[in-house]
Structure 1
């Protein structure tokens, strides 16, 4: 009897996987099931939260005193930088007025917390505690305190699934912060692995270069840090160099994230948008790259 039950469960599981792969209606079912599972995820994360709270309460006084001293030093350092930034901000405003350039506005965001990580070693995804009721949408950029984490690929009422930048199916357009060269960055399927695609052997890219979002695809606003180049290999006779980078986001340690709400990109003919002066062909190519990455990630789910 147990053998028949196992066989029936296996057949049912295969049938569900086939239906999920072939029919898009299962996305709605998955979202509803995620809503039902959300309380379970909260209960599972409760012991960890309790332990963290207990560790904070039982911290030694010397540790707290040392941390307080270090924070005071950081406050002094940041205060010095703020004093300098006030002058630079005023100068920036004057230069924008001189060039008749549009003012860049702050991008609104909401905070989110990690609920769970995907146990599959071949995928890099996580679940956060914000969903449709909070205004989260598919394709929304996700950040941590250091840089870009990934983008939302599925949304339910109370939680959302996020595809990390290190996943092999994730790609996004980036540019080198030092000189503005634009490339496509793809995940390598490792915790600290990213590949810069189709880099000409003569391109000016070096170890240590910071890679930031270019804003070409219309999905990620420009200027946010994504990765830092850690290796550039030039193979003799090959037209392209092999460039590897590490994400600047703390993907294995961060528990709190920011969900950005970037403004709608304007048409290439418009003024003031962050897609305004870009080549339409380049915009379309970058948008297609990012769209294919999200589509393939949704198909795998």
Structure 2
């Protein structure tokens, strides 16, 4: 060891003092390269064997399937709170209409809009997948927003947090209906035109009411975090927080809700008799 240490110091001194040592060092590196390769072979063999035994491709595919399954199960669980409250109100009723599951497809985040004054994102589903403008978008926790532009292979989504986005909601606890609008911040939504005497309080879950015909009923939107009452104003100031993970979600569900049924006014005008070849006639029309 002493001789090796002396030789090492001598080589370092010679390399520092003499320029020819650069070439000598390069030649010695070439000579030593096979030895370095031989030393690294056992490590490479162990790494390759480990990957082969773990079947990496199968694990990656299984992970992807499990992620989609988790998203699907979260989608089904989201409506439980709304359905529980509704069952309490409908317990005495018979022949209540049954709710069918809403069809959907999964999508993954491609990019976020760089404009700090808009809250939009792009996902990897487009016209070829049946995506359309106005389609509701959700993540594993709740409503994210809606599609505003569609291309062949991607779609642009306007998120709830955008100040230009608004939708009708209802309080899951008692069924009161309001409008929720974005504030330009991920963590806050405004509940508009809430009467000062309305029965709404912090902790209430706001779900889609289905009144606009665009979002299906019963999906979680936000949770009330603050209610401010001003004795001099007719409306209370209510702030809610989205339940969806707008800043962190990368996988989403694009829902395909059924078309809204015809209104009762239109139904009352039908005379009830028409053939397949002829459109239905409204009362009072020739």
TM range (shorter): 0.5 to 0.7
Quote the residue 2:198 is aligned against: 203
- Match for residue 227 of structure 2? 232
Could you give the per-residue CA deviations for residues 174-193 of structure 1, whole angstroms, max 9, x where no partner exists? 00000000000000011111
1:136 to 116, 131, 136: 131
Counterparts of 1:185 and 1:98, CA distance in 2: 31
Question: Aligned partners of 1:150 and 1:172: how far apart in 2?
Answer: 9
Once the two structures are superposed, the pairs formed by residues 167-206 of structure 1 within 5 Å of their partners are 167-206=162-201
Report the TM-score when normalising by structure 1: 0.58
Are residue 261 (structure 1) and residue 271 (structure 2) matched? Answer: no
Runs of 5+ in structure 2 lacking a partner? 1-50, 52-72, 266-286
2:116 alignment counterpart? 121
1:96–1:102 Cα contact (<8 Å) kept: no
| Corresponding residue SS for 1:133 | helix
Q: Deviations over 1:103-154 (max 9, x none)?
A: 2111000000000000111100000000000000000000000000000000
2:212 to 214, 217, 222: 217
1:247 aligns with 2:242: yes
CA distance in 2, matches of 1:101, 1:232: 34
Higher helix share: 1
Instruction: Give yes or no for contact 1:153–1:162 (8 Å, CA) kept in 2.
Output: yes
Q: Aligned partners of 1:198, 1:208: CA distance in 2, in Å?
A: 19
Aligned to 1:27: none
Q: Which residue of 2 aligns with 1:160?
A: 155
Deviation of 1:96 (Å): 8.6
Quick one: distance in 2 between partners of 1:245 and 1:147? 14
Q: CA deviation at 1:269?
A: 2.4
Per the TM alignment, residue 101 of structure 1 is displaced from its structure 2 partner at its CA by 2.1
Could you list the per-position Cα deviations for residues 196-251 of structure 1 after superposition, in whole angstroms to 9, with x for gaps in the alignment? 00000000000010000000000000000000001101112100000000000000
Matched position secondary structure for 2:236: strand
Rounded to whole Å, the distance in 2 between the matches of 1:119 and 1:182 is 34
Over the residues paired in the alignment, what is the CA RMSD in angstroms? 2.6
Call closer, same or farther: CA 1:157–1:207 in 2, change over 3 Å. same
Greater C-alpha Rg = 2
Partner of residue 146, structure 1: 141
Task: Assess, with a 3 A threshold, how the Cα gap between structure 1 residues 169 and 229 changes in structure 2: closer, same or farther.
Answer: same
Measure the CA separation in 2 of the matches of 1:97 and 1:199: 30
**Residue pair 1:167, 1:189 contacting (<8 A) in 2 also:** yes
Kindly state the Cα deviation for residue 97 of structure 1 after the two structures are TM-superposed.
11
Q: Does 1:108 align with 2:103?
A: yes
Question: How many pairs align?
Answer: 184
